[in-house]
Amino acid sequence: MMKSVYIAFGVVVGAAMVAGGVAWAIIAWRGSGPGAPPPPPRGWWETADLYQIYPRSFKDSDGDGVGDLPGITSKLEHLVEAGAGAAWLSPVFQSPMVDAGYDVSDFYSIHEEYGKMEDFEQLVRRAHELGLKVLLDFVPNHASTESQYFKDSEDRVEGFEDFFVWADGLHDPENESNILPPSNWVSQFGGSAWQWSEKRGQFYLHQFSVQQADFNFRSPAVRDEMLQIMRFWLDKGADGFRIDGLPYLMEANPADHGGRYPDDPLCGRKEFGPNQLGYTVPLYTKDLIELYDIVYDWREFVDNYQRENGGDTRVILTEGYTNISMTMQYYGYGGRLGAHFPFNFGFITDLTRGFSAPDLVYCVLKWLTYMPRGAVANWVLGNHDNSRVASRLRPALVDGLNALTALLPGASVTYQGEELGMRDGRVSWRQTVDVEACSRGNEQTYQLYSRDPARTPFHWDGGPSAGFSSNASTWLPVASDHREINLERQKKEPRSHFKVFQALKALRKRPTLTHGDYIVEALSDKTLVVVRHLAPLDSFTLVFNVAGSSDTVHTDWIRSLKLPATVYVTSLSSKRNAGDVISPGPLELQAGEALVLQASSLVSYGHKLS
Q: Which domains does the chain have, with CATH numbers?
A: 15-43+517-599 (2.60.40.1180), 45-143+223-254+281-503 (3.20.20.80), 144-214+255-280 (3.90.400.10)
Question: How much is the average pLDDT of 382-408?
Answer: 97
Neighbours of 262 (CB within 10 A): 19
Q: What percent of the chain has pLDDT over 90?
A: 86
Write down the pLDDT at residue 188: 94
Q: How confident is the model at residue 271 (pLDDT cuts 50, 70, 90)?
A: confident
What is the reported pLDDT for 601? 80
**Is the pLDDT reported for residue 34 higher than 60?**
no
More confidently predicted of 284 and 19: 284
Q: Is 113 a catalytic residue?
A: no
Measured between alpha carbons, how far is 170 from 175 in angstroms, rounded to an integer? 11
**Band of the pLDDT at 610, cuts 50, 70, 90?**
low
- At 40 the pLDDT is 74
pLDDT digits (tens, 9 = 90+) for 506-563: 999 999 999 999 999 999 999 999 999 999 999 999 999 999 999 999 999 998 888 9
pLDDT of residue 176: 84
Percentage above 70 pLDDT, the chain: 92
- Residues 214-245 have pLDDT tens digits of 999 999 999 999 999 999 999 999 999 999 99
| Whether 527 contacts 546, CB under 8 Å | yes
Q: What is the mean pLDDT of residues 310-337?
A: 95
CA-based torsion, 192, 198, 202, 208: positive or negative: negative
pLDDT for the residue numbered 426: 96
Phi first, then psi: give them for residue 134, nearest 5 degrees.
-125, 120
The catalytic residue among 60, 264, 319, 452 is 319
pLDDT single digits (tens) 38-54: 667 789 999 999 999 99
153-204 pLDDT, tens digit each: 999 999 999 999 999 999 998 888 899 999 999 999 999 999 999 999 999 9
- Whether 592 has a pLDDT exceeding 60, the answer reads yes
Non-local CB neighbours of 201 within 8 Å, separated by 6+ positions: none
Residue from 504, 549, 531 nearest 601 by CA = 531
Cα–Cα distances (Å) from 171 to 177, 179, 206, 537, 604, in that order, read 8, 5, 21, 72, 70
**Rounded CA separation 377/501 (Å):** 20
> Which residue among the candidates 154, 214, 239, 244 is catalytic per the annotation?
244
pTM: 0.91
Does residue 365 carry a pLDDT above 80?
yes
Q: How confident is the model at residue 284 (pLDDT cuts 50, 70, 90)?
A: very high
Q: Which residues contact 560 (CB under 8 A, 6 or more apart)?
A: 519, 531, 533, 539, 541, 602, 604, 606
**Residue 11: pLDDT above 70?**
no
| pLDDT tens column, 94-119 | 999 999 999 999 999 999 999 999 99
pLDDT higher than threshold 70 for residue 581: yes
Whether 319 is a known active-site residue: answer yes
Determine the average pLDDT of the residues in 209-215: 97
pLDDT of 596 higher than 60: yes
Q: How many C-beta atoms lie closer than 10 Å to residue 217's C-beta?
A: 20
Q: pLDDT band for 275, please (50, 70, 90 cuts).
A: confident
Average pLDDT over residues 1-18: 31
Average model confidence (pLDDT) across the chain: 92
